[in-house]
Chains A and B, each alone.
Chain A
Amino acid sequence: MLNELINAIKKYKIWTYLSFQEIKTRYVGSYLGPFWITITQIILVISIGYIYGGIFSIPPEEYMPFLTCGFVYWNLISGILNEGTRVFGSNRNYLNEIKISPLLFCLKNVCSNTIVFLHNFLAVFVIFYLTDYEYTSRFFLSFIGLFFICINGFLAIITIGIICERFRDIPSLITNILQISFFVTPIIWDPINFKSRAVIILQLNPFWHFIEAARAPLLGREVELYTYLTIIMLTFVNFFIAYFTYKKFSNKIIYWLQ
């Protein structure tokens, strides 16, 4: 698998071309094109910011930046995983016609979702500007989190993509898990405001750490060493699961697509 992976990465022209093509196709005929992603994000954050800020009694200028940073990263994670459920099926028109590594399409998935993420990320600057939020030098550490999200997203969809082709009930299950994860991961609520025991249990949720590692630096907060160690460990686990799943089943993918 490692050789195949290196080869697939070398063929970056193929998967980046496909990624840009996909985004272009999605917004064909639209003036603002992919900037609708940014606008949607801003509108969502402002509306939810006022409502939930009120419910949680947090001033909007504090709450909205938190919300934006959480949302942009969550959208990236859930985008990669949701599309990952059909990463092979939706590319059957290639897999079924020529000899091509299925890993290319996993890379393409992560790439196109990262492009969407970058559009989303513009909302962070807009909201920071609107709320006068201060940038700190930590800001750039956020990209360590981004890096791990992309790597783990890629590894996870190798496994998820394969399982989903074999067992057609799994895509719906994953959609459900992601929906619940959205609520149990601190995206619309800030763990700083909840010091209960439940929060400690919720830290078993792997998404927690990825979001934390990526979001905290944007907000100028410090990322705990424990969080970094957890995501490094999760990356290893994720790698081995993906490695063995792919090794055992990569030759069967095409047959399950029939």
Chain B
Amino acid sequence: MIEAKNLNIEFPINTFKNFSLRKSLIQNVTRSLKVGGKISKLEKKNLSVTALSELNFKIKEGDRVGIYGPNGSGKSTLLKTIAGVYPPTGGEILVTGKINNLLNIGFGFNSEASGRENAKFRLILAEYDDKEINDILERIKDFSGLDDYFDLPIKTYSSGMMFRLGFAIISQINGDIVLMDEWLSAGDSAFLEKVNNKLKDILKTTKILILASHSKELIKSNCNKILQLQNGKIDYYGDIKNDF
């Protein structure tokens, strides 16, 4: 379950030092924003961007929530806040359940290390024990179809191969709450089919899905609820209406 109470996320802009233009700039900018969160002054001294402002929502088991909104409306920030990357700067967020973070499937890769080593590290991060790791590594190798490349440094990989490795890793890591930023797709058509099938499997079995997207179609076909964001605030949260 995920519950947000008056959740606020503000990014300080420390490089933005006091200068005379500042006040006028803030006044002008805040009036007519079409993208992004409100730019404001934090603690009187520094500028800050309010990425999420006073969010209140509850996501229960079984919910499939689509996050929808224009660029800079706070979709990715909200996903990362749920993932625990950003601690709230105001209010709170309660998350129960293990997160399966598909936001960046290739994070933390070391280009000098082999596919196997990188996969192993990700499994260590996910706190699997040594016995499980060896089994899972074989499954990752099989799923990725990388064969001998699996033991070569990933700097030799093409971007499609990198995606294969990243996706194969996350396909073997379980969680209760799946976080996704747009549909994962890259690689050749054969692999893409595998990806789509696997993703559908994951989404079917997961307790909660949170999927951020610009695509109404994608949200309609995968979600039963929608959370619409505008300038870091909730516009609408509830079941998907027919006119969406």
A193: CB under 8 A from chain B? no
A68 to B232, CA, bound (A): 58
A1-16 vs B: 1/0 string, CB under 8 Å? 0000000000101100
Closest residue on chain B to residue A94 by CB atoms:
B108
- Nearest A residue to B153, CB-CB: A28
Q: Mask for B30-56, Cβ within 8 A of A = 1, else 0?
A: 000000000000000000000000000
Measured CB to CB, the nearest residue on chain A to B87 is: A251
Given A13-B124, A254-B86, answer yes or no on A97-B107 (Cβ-Cβ < 8 Å).
yes
Q: List 30 A-B contacts (CB under 8 A).
A: A11-B127, A13-B124, A14-B125, A21-B113, A21-B121, A24-B112, A25-B110, A28-B153, A93-B108, A94-B108, A95-B85, A96-B85, A97-B85, A97-B101, A97-B103, A97-B104, A97-B107, A98-B85, A98-B101, A98-B125, A99-B83, A99-B85, A251-B87, A252-B12, A254-B85, A254-B87, A255-B10, A255-B89, A256-B14, A258-B11
Query: Is B184's CB within 8 Å of the partner chain A?
Result: no
In the docked arrangement, what's the CA distance between A95 and B86, Å?
Answer: 9
Complex Cα distance, B125 from A88, in Å, reads 17
Give B88's nearest chain A residue, CB to CB: A251
Q: Which residues of B are interface residues toward A (Cβ below 8 A)?
A: 10-12, 14, 83-87, 89, 99, 101, 103-104, 107-108, 110, 112-113, 117, 120-121, 124-125, 127, 153
Let me know if A166 is at the binding interface, CB within 8 A: yes
Q: In the complex, which of the residues B11, B107, B117 contacts A255, with contact meaning CB atoms closer than 8 Å? A: B11
Contacts of A252 in B (CB 8 A): 12
Counting CB contacts under 8 A, is A17 at the interface? yes
Considering the complex, give the chain B residue whose CB is closest to the CB of A166.
Answer: B14
A257 and B120 alpha carbons, distance in the complex (Å): 27
Taking CB atoms, residues of chain B closer than 8 Å to A28 are 112, 153
The answer to whether residues A98 and B121 also contact, given A25-B113, A28-B112, A93-B108 and a CB cut-off of 8 A, is: no
Instruction: List A59-114 residues whose CB lies under 8 Å from chain B.
Output: 93-100
Q: In the complex, what residues of B have CB within 8 A of residue A24's CB?
A: 112-113
If A14-B124, A21-B121, A25-B110 touch, does A99 touch B99 (CB 8 Å cutoff)? Answer: yes
Given A99-B99, A251-B87, A255-B11, are A93 and B124 also a contact pair (CB < 8 Å)?
no
- When chains A and B are docked, how far (Å) is the Cα of A93 from the Cα of B12? 19
Bound complex: CA A29 to CA B10 (Å)? 45
Chain B residues, CB < 8 A from A251: 87, 89
Contact of B112 among A13, A25, A97 (CB under 8 A): A25
Q: Roughly how many angstroms separate A129 CA and B101 CA in the complex, as a whole number?
A: 54
| Distance in Å: Cβ of A98 to nearest Cβ of chain B | 6
Let me know if A21 and B107 touch, CB within 8 A.
no
Nearest residue, chain A, Cβ from B122: A98
Residues of A within 8 A of B10 (CB): 255
Interface centre among B103, B107, B108, B120 (most CB of A within 10 A): B108
List A residues 1-45 near B (Cβ within 8 Å): 11, 13-14, 17-18, 21, 24-25, 28
Which residues on the A side are within 8 Å of B153 (C-beta)?
Answer: 28
Min CB distance B134 to A, Å, is 14
A21 touches B83 (CB 8 A): no
Q: How far is the CA of A152 from the CA of B121 in the complex (A)?
A: 28
Q: How far is the CB of A88 from chain B (nearest CB, A)?
A: 13
Contacts of A258 in B (CB 8 A): 11
Give the contacts of A110-165 with B (CB-CB under 8 A): none
> Do B113 and A255 touch (CB < 8 A)?
no
A138 to B83, CA, bound (A): 51
Chain A minimum-CB-distance residue to B130: A13
Complex Cα gap A11–B153 (Å): 26
Nearest-CB residue, chain A, relative to B95: A99
Q: How far is the CA of A93 from the CA of B111 in the complex (A)?
A: 13
Instruction: Report the minimal beta-carbon distance from A28 to chain B, rounded to whole angstroms.
Output: 5
Residue of A nearest to B111 (CB): A25
Across-interface contacts of B103 in A (CB, < 8 A): 97
Which residues of A have CB within 8 Å of B85?
95-99, 254
Contact residue among A17, A96, A254 (Cβ-Cβ distance under 8 Å from B121): A17
Decide yes or no: A21 and B110 within 8 Å by CB, A13-B124, A97-B85 being known contacts.
yes
> Given contacts A14-B125, A94-B107, A255-B10, could you give 19 more A-B pairs where the C-beta distance is less than 8 Å?
A17-B124, A24-B112, A25-B112, A25-B113, A28-B153, A97-B104, A97-B107, A98-B107, A99-B84, A99-B85, A166-B14, A251-B89, A252-B12, A254-B85, A254-B87, A255-B86, A255-B89, A256-B12, A256-B14
